[in-house]
Chain A
Amino acid sequence: MHYKYAFIFIIALNSSLFGQDTSNLKWQIGLNLGCNFPLTKLLNGEPFEHLLYYNDASTYWRIPSLTYFFNKKLGIELNVNWSESSENADIEARFLRDIELKYGNQYFTTIGKFSFDSYTIQRGFGRFYLGLVHRFEKSRFVFDSKIFIGVTSFHSGNLEVRLKEKNSNNLYIATINAGKIGKDIFTTAVSSSINYKLTKRIYLNLDFIISYCKSDISYFENLRNLSLDNDTTTVLLNQKKDVFNLSVGAGIVVPFNLPLLK
């Protein structure tokens, strides 16, 4: 529940800064690097979760945010935070370890087919936001408060594990299937950023975002008995969780004007 207070705190902080002087530059782009700190975690440590290209704690980089100000105070912002995690590179090995723990006593396990995408970009995950910005300036400081809606988006893989029963001729194929490969979870967020004007056209930026999404991830685990004419048992694994995340980042902001759109 205390995360709700954090939401309120950020909004209150920004509200207290309203009503000040603003810049006349209508556009700005922002580049930012930061860390995601999970306030509540999406992952529980279940084996199938290794099939999700998502990490609760991770670093992110902002593929520049773009903001347009309608007037001196109000604007709209498009913001993409893209995360990579070194753990994702090891995803198959970690999954095998978990499968070995689950089935290893009774079966010899070998990986059949991984349906992971080999492209690096799909091994990361992103938070895509669109929202309103309110600006307040004081001497060399610019304070922005933002409210966003968007999606937390990541890929997931399907997996086939071959199981050979010990001391037996029985063979099984366990498939763990996420159905849809891409996951897009509706996300809301509030943000506060503090910019320091190095020059008229370059600001140093410190950025805080608290985001919330409700995960709803389903996985089917099928165990196909090859010895019994492919007799299959299916287990549905479902996960619904409230996920709060705090992103803290730093970078630069570059305000500008497009000559034709002044």
Chain B
Amino acid sequence: MILSLYAMAITSCCPCEKPMFFNYTNKIIRTENIDNAGLNPIVSTSDSIVKTAFGVRINIKREKIAALTAKKNCRTVYATSCECPPVIQFLPKDSIKSVKIFALNYFDKSHLVGSDISEYFKLFEKLKFSFENIETFPQKLNSTLYDESEFQSNNDLLLMTPPEKTGKFIFKIQFILSDNKLIEFNTKEIRLI
């Protein structure tokens, strides 16, 4: 008797509002050169940046598209807690599989013209005051969002290993989508000093 009551209790539904699901798509992706010589990285208006303080900012604007069918509105009760899911959730339609950065100029002995130098960049998490490896960046871009205010994001990828020599540089940012489609952007030419 007690066991069956307990079983009922842990499988009963919470009185949660029915969540609505939407898809979003990454609408505008723009890249900017950033200068991180100061306390915080800023978009550079200059034609030169100190090579040890260079980075690329990737601006992403998302757009809400089709609403999806609501999933089953039931959350089980565990002990006395009842956690409802967020009422609105935005799921990525076109997920990004990987992000790569190429140097279109000679970078160093092991990275000649056109080489993949993604490993030299790290994702800067300003609020956490930490770095993430660039491999985690797609995961961040494909995350479920809960508010339209999260639709715009600026992501700073900082160059942790500077080029061997100073000079003019252009970097190519390549996004590979889940359907293997490529989206590529070149940064503005910048003199790294």
Contacts and interface: CB of A to CB of B under 8 A. Distances in A.
B50 A226 contact: no
Interface string A156-175: 00000010101111110100
A164 B37 CA distance: 9
Contact of B55 (A110, A112, A169, A227): A169
Contact of A167 (B50, B55, B160): B50
B118 to A, nearest CB: 15
B129 A169 contact: no
Nearest to B49: A167
Nearest to B39: A108
A227 B53 CA distance: 12
Contacts, number: 39
B57 interface: no
A146 to B, nearest CB: 53
B159 interface: yes
Interface residues of B, number: 17
B50 to A, nearest CB: 5
B53 to A, nearest CB: 5
A162 B127 CA distance: 12
B96 interface: no
Interface in B135-161: 158-160
Contacts of B39: 108, 110, 164
Given A108-B38, A112-B129, A162-B129, A167 B53 contact: yes
Interface of B: 36-39, 50, 52-55, 122, 124, 129-131, 158-160
18 contacts: A108-B39, A110-B39, A166-B37, A167-B37, A168-B36, A168-B50, A168-B52, A169-B36, A169-B52, A169-B54, A169-B158, A169-B159, A169-B160, A170-B52, A171-B130, A171-B131, A226-B131, A227-B131
